[in-house]
Structure 1
Amino acid sequence: MKRIIARIWKLIRGPLQWRVLWFAHAKFMIGVTGVVRNEQGQVLLLKHRMWPADRPWGLPTGYAIKNEEFPETIVREVREETGLDVAPGRLVQVTSGYKLRVEIAYAALHVGGTLKIDGFEILEAKWCYPDALPEGTQESHVQLIKAGTVS
């Protein structure tokens, strides 16, 4: 039986193979978070409107869109949420095991732009030193900030 399946697999090369694989495997959303720093070493934190009231502070984050490279997701999300421009850096962390998503975090450097927050999603934005984060910062983001501090 395995030989028959292998022969069929070889015969359906190309787009049909990809369709079979797509139907046979799990689908995930990709959440991308940016540990954005400025030249002073401060981290950009956002007070998110739709997050729990006791944990509204966190890093810029959003979902990748189709055909978007993950470092570019954080560039787009930061620009949409804050008006700031960033240059993506190294991969900080990949977290899987969730039911429908994978989380990816990148370091990023603030390179320009004027702060203008998206009032729909974001209530406030501020630069903080890693050892002086506001109360109500997401614990997973505190850990990313610590991980992003290590070179």
Structure 2
Amino acid sequence: MKRIIARLWRIIRGPLQWRLLWLAHSKYMIGVTGVVRDDQGHVLLLRHRMWPPERQWGLPTGYAVAGEEFSETVVREVREETGLEVKAGRLVRLQSGYRLRVEVAYEAYIVGGDMKIDSFEILEAKWFSVDSLPEGLQESHRQLITGSTPA
């Protein structure tokens, strides 16, 4: 039976193979987060309008669009949500397993711009020291900020 399947697979080369693979596998959204720090080490946190009221504080976050480098997603999302310009640094997390989403997180550093929040998505933006993170901060974002790993 395996030989027959292998022979059929070779016969249907090209677009049909890709369509079958696409149908047979999970589809993922790519959530990209930026751990944005200023030159004093403070981290930028946003209070997100669309998030649950008890967990509205978090890092700048959004979804990658097709063909976009994930580091560029961080730059775009921070600019869209805050008006600030950042440069993406090192990759700090790459993880799958949350339903059909892959989580990507980068360090990011301010390089310019003026704070002007997108009031449709963001209620407020503030800089916090690592020692004074707010209540209602997403736990996964707290772990990214402090460099800890989930228990």
TM over 0.5, shorter chain: yes
Read off the aligned partner of 1:49 and give its amino acid letter: R
**Cross-structure match for 1:4:** 4
Deviations 1:52-103 (Å, cap 9, x if unpaired)? 2222111000111112121111111111100111111111112322222121
**Cross-structure match for 2:31:** 31
In the alignment, structure 1 residue 65 sits paired with structure 2 residue 65? yes
10-19 or 89-98, larger mean C-alpha shift = 10-19
**Cross-structure match for 2:99:** 99
**Cross-structure match for 1:42:** 42
Deviations 1:87-127 (Å, cap 9, x if unpaired)? 11111112322222121111111111111100011011111
**Cross-structure match for 1:78:** 78
2-side partners of 1:36 and 1:9: how far apart? 47
Please report the RMSD computed on the Cα atoms of aligned residues, expressed in angstroms: 1.5
**Cross-structure match for 1:131:** 131
How high is the sequence identity, in percent, across the aligned residues?
72
- Structure 2, unaligned runs of 5 or more: none
Scaled by the length of structure 1, the TM-score of the pair is 0.90
Structure 1 stretches of 4+ moved >4 Å: none
SS in 2 for 1:54: helix
Question: Per-residue deviation at 1:18?
Answer: 1.6
1-side partners of 2:76 and 2:11: how far apart? 41
In the alignment, structure 1 residue 88 sits paired with structure 2 residue 88? yes
2-side partners of 1:90 and 1:11: how far apart? 43
1-side partners of 2:85 and 2:70: how far apart? 16
Scaled by the length of structure 2, the TM-score of the pair is 0.90
**Cross-structure match for 1:146:** 146
Question: Per-residue deviation at 1:13?
Answer: 2.7
In the alignment, structure 1 residue 110 sits paired with structure 2 residue 84? no
